[in-house]
Amino acid sequence: MNAEIKIYVADLAAYNNGKLHGIWINACDDVEDIQEQINKMLAESPEGCKRPPITPCQLASSCAVAVH
């Protein structure tokens, strides 16, 4: 059995415009690593999120994501 826990983080701006853009992340990674992966995904957004968040607290105020 695989003990790795994965989460899917989706770019909601892309989703709301009919595009699927997101990444699978290992939920057991350090929070800083997870945030870095989310920032990179948002920076590559087809909807042009120009200001990726720096901290989890800033996430809600810049670009919207959904975690599944």
In this predicted model, what pLDDT tens digit does every residue of 46-68 receive, in sequence order?
887 765 555 555 554 457 777 87
- pLDDT at position 61 is 45
pTM comes to: 0.73
Rounded CA separation 47/30 (Å) = 27
**pLDDT recorded at residue 2:** 59
Give the tokens for residue 37. Answer: 């992966």
Q: What pLDDT sits at residue 60?
A: 45
Query: pLDDT digit string (tens) for 26-45?
Result: 999 999 999 899 989 988 88
Question: Which of the pair, 14 or 2, is modelled with greater confidence?
Answer: 14
